[in-house]
Amino acid sequence: GAHSLLAGRGTPAIRRALLHASAATLDALPPVVSAEPPSHPSFELLSVEMVEEYTMKVARYRHIKSGAEVISAQADDENKVFGIAFRTPVSDSTGVPHILEHSVLCGSDKYTSKEPFTELLKGSLQTFLNAFTYPDRTCYPVASLNTKDFYNLVNVYLDAVLSPRAKRDPAVFAQEGWHYELEDPSEPLTYKGVVFNEMKGVYSSPESLLYRASQQSTFPDTTYASDSGGDPAVIPDLTFEQFTAFHDAYYHPSNSRIFFYGDDDPASRLALLDEYLSPFTAPEAPVPSKIETQRLISETRRVVERFPASPEEAKEDAPSRMLMLNWLLNEEPLEPVDELALTVLDELLMGTRTSVLYKAMAESGLGSAVVGGGLSDELKQATFSVGLKGVKADDLPKAEMLAIETLTKAAQSGFEADAIEAAVNTLEFQLREMNTGGFPKGLAFMLSMLPRWIYRDEEGANVADALRFEAPLSELKRRLSSGEKVFEPLLKKLLVDNQHRTVVEMRPDAGLAEEWAAAERKRLEDAKAAMAEEDIQQVITSTAELKRAQLAEDSPEALATIPRVGLADLERKVKQVPTEHSTLADGAVPLLAHPLPCAGVVYADVVLDLQRIPLSELPLLNLYTSLLTQTGTSELDATTLQRRIGARTGGIQFSTMLEQAIGDKGSVGPADAVIHKLVARGKAVGDRTGDMLDLMHAMLTDAKL
Ligand SMILES: [Zn+2]
């Protein structure tokens, strides 16, 4: 049958061939990395260091006049990344950072079309273009493979954040934030605005409300107790003056962190930045944007919040409630080895379907799905959350008890050795491979460094350390191999004995949506009642003006300010992936190898022909491929098999491939010439390639179906 290709002499031969292919690695540093970081009279070079883990040189600068901090990373990666981030802590839920994030992308001094962002999405070769509002920072990243396109994007983004039209044209705030809308004096006033509407959507989602209540209750005394995205009930409190004052204070270069990454010329980066930054002077006293620390509180707090629900969901015995337990884990930054150990602990508790806490919650029958992703470390202090949704009121105490008891038991009896091995290997594999898929790698590096960069500035913390893992990893492995219990005491300290815990219960309320709508109507009625006739006329006029402006086309001159790449800027050569052809099993099986720098990881597809499968069995194929990894084999039960895959490989999957054959001279092939294959796809570090193929072989030939 189809499986015979892997039997007999095939396996060792594939193994040898793959090992040979994996030996193709790079020895010398690429020139772009070995080059000395440039100097520039406007910049002070603060530090230069190598991040060996990812073959990257990281230079840190300060722009002397404006005070902007810059990281310029030299890496042999054509997917170039730029980002500028500002610390934007809030003290209310007007959503000012979120509205500003939208607004700065609506045109600027140099780029005068209404929405340069939309124009760039249409006409650029960008591989990433977006903006994020976090609870304490706002971040504007772009990426492109094409150098000219990349610098176009950088120019537009720098001008957008530093000189936006939104500062001088209140129509942008009205459109993106909120405004009164009225067309006829006899009609009721309404609120409109892009962020206002977006956040109404967010606030109608029960799970969003759960996560919001969890964050706010975990950090009751800091900026995280407010909603930087904006609460629809609070957004209309924000005035245009407050909005521009927020930009003045927080979008100053002295409050920014600027990041460059890739294989472009580092001197061009500094020259371009100097153009944009030199008009600004660092203030004598920097804007107070430091994110304060939440002190650990030694009592469990309970929060009950309502969410809008249907009458059916709101019935007393309906399985519609949600429960989440949240812990604040630390006041001071963790030591690197503890940080790494905590990530492994999270994998042991929540990482896979067989992880103890996830499994206990998911299989408890107390709820419909697990909520809370376990460890979260993107804010100043780490948190841990777990819970269930779709819970009956009577089962809420049971679900809470189950989480606590599962954690207590794990801290007492410990984790199984093969579970620990699998979790450590899974993490190590992810760190080494740094496979970000379609997401630019440089952006992943920037987002990893940003927390340390914005939280620890005054302590002179080494930002690049955020990417380093070799030293803490070997320390962790040393402690584990000496027989030390690493995870159990950490679990006891950070979760079991830690009383800074909030228990958030979400209750369905069939009347809540109407209650919110009524409050909004009342507010709008009061506002209208307080308006003089000419105020009402003013709202009607500005409503019409805004609509006219929104419908108006950009002038050709304004559109022409948006830089574009032309045909001449495109690479004309097609990139060829090197391919070596050989055969296995006395010429019976073709082997294609692509020798590429893969940081020591071997990627393998074993492709088996399905032509001989009877048509009647074809509908079973999807079920078959998904069962292969889930049933275990005659030697390994399902959990042991999962752990072994985790311990020895970077993952193994099965899928089917259905393609039309290529015809003569590359033409479309005959309509009935279909290629149908079963694909076993896996990845492993070079010296584990044999283990990976053995596991594939065992699942293909010996799955307990
Ligand atoms: Zn938004």
- Looking at 516, 550, 567, the residue that finishes a domain is 567
Count of domains forming the chain: 2
Domain annotation covers residue 170? yes
**DSSP state letters, 357-373:** HHHHHHTSSSSSEEEEE
Regarding whether 21 and 45 lie in a shared domain, the answer is no
For the segment 227-274, what is each residue's pLDDT rounded down to a tens digit?
A: 999 999 999 999 999 999 999 999 999 999 999 999 999 999 999 999
Q: What is the mean pLDDT of residues 116-131?
A: 89
Q: Is residue 585 part of a domain?
A: yes
- Statement to judge: residues 119 and 234 lie in one domain: yes
Q: Are 556 and 631 contained in the same domain? A: no
Kindly state the percentage of the chain with pLDDT values over 90.
79
In a domain, 408, yes or no: no
The yes-or-no answer on residue 458 being catalytic is no
Catalytic residue among 36, 52, 78, 101: 101
CB 21 within 8 A of CB 595: yes
Region 64-85 average pLDDT:
97
Q: Is there a domain that residue 506 lies in?
A: no
Predicted confidence band of residue 438 (pLDDT cuts 50, 70, 90): confident
- Where does a domain end: 521, 547, 567? 567
Token readout for 591 is: 């082997």
Within-domain flag for 524: no
pLDDT at position 21 over 50: no
Token pair listed for 474: 């070997």
Residues with CB under 5 A from ligand 1 (ion): 198
* 687 vs 601: CA distance, rounded Å: 9
Identify the CATH number of the domain in which residue 177 sits: 3.30.830.10
The DSSP code for 438 is T
Kindly indicate the confidence band of residue 19, based on its pLDDT and cuts at 50, 70 and 90: very low
Find the 153 Cα to ligand 1 centroid distance in Å. Answer: 20
CA 273, 277, 278, 284 torsion: positive or negative? negative
Specify which residues 249 forms β-bridges with. Answer: none
> What residues pair up with 112 in beta bridges, in sequence order?
none
**Is 24 a residue whose pLDDT tops 50?**
no
Mean pLDDT of the residues in the chain? 92
Same domain, 233 and 252: yes
Distance 39 CA to ligand 1 centre (A): 38
* Shared-domain flag, residues 182 and 277: yes
Are residues 109 and 255 part of one domain? Answer: yes
User: What confidence score (pLDDT) does residue 119 get?
Assistant: 86
Q: What's the CA-to-centroid distance between 47 and ligand 1, angstroms?
A: 36
User: In this model, does residue 402 exceed pLDDT 60?
Assistant: yes
pLDDT tens figures, 601-641: 899 999 999 988 898 998 999 999 989 988 899 999 988 99
Q: Which pLDDT band holds residue 117 (cuts at 50, 70, 90)?
A: confident
Helix (H, G, I), strand (E, B) or coil at 378: coil
Q: Give the H or E element holding residue 560.
A: helix 556-560
Q: Which of 162, 111, 157 is nearest to 259 (CA)?
A: 157
595 C-alpha to ligand 1 centroid (Å): 43
- Given a cut of 90, whether residue 594 has pLDDT beyond it is yes
Assigned domain for 275 exists:
yes
Give 307 Cα–ligand 1 centroid separation in angstroms.
22
- Find all residues with CB under 8 Å of 426, minimum gap 6, and list them: 347, 351, 646
Q: Is 101 a catalytic residue?
A: yes
- Distance (angstroms) between ligand 1 centre and the Cα of 128 equals 17
* Same domain, yes or no: 550 and 693: no
Is the domain of 115 the same as that of 245?
yes
Asked if 191 and 259 sit in the same domain, the reply is yes
Answer with the one of 549, 567, 585 that is the final residue of a domain. 567
229 and 102, same structural domain? yes
Confidence band for 535, pLDDT divided at 50, 70 and 90: very high
Same domain, yes or no: 213 and 99: yes
Highest-pLDDT range among 309-313, 349-353, 669-673:
309-313
Q: Is residue 353 part of a domain?
A: no
Q: Which of 69, 119, 176, 400 is the catalytic position?
A: 176
Strand pairing category for 300-308 and 501-509: parallel
Three-state SS string across 166-213, please? HHCCHHHHHHHCCEEECCCCCCCCEEECHHHHHHHHHHCCHHHHHHHH
pLDDT at 686: 83
**For residue 510, how far is its CA from the centre of ligand 1 (angstroms)?**
27
Report d(CA 407, CA 401) in Å as an integer. Answer: 10
Residue-range definition of the domain harbouring residue 94: 40-288+536-567
For residues 109 and 158, membership in a common domain is answered with yes
Strand pairing report for 128-129 and 179-181: unpaired
Q: Classify residue 661: in a domain, yes or no.
A: yes
Q: Is residue 378 within 8 Å of 451, Cβ to Cβ?
A: yes
Write out pLDDT tens, residues 455-512: 986 656 689 999 999 999 999 999 999 999 999 999 999 999 999 999 999 999 999 9
State how beta strands 43-51 and 137-144 pair: unpaired
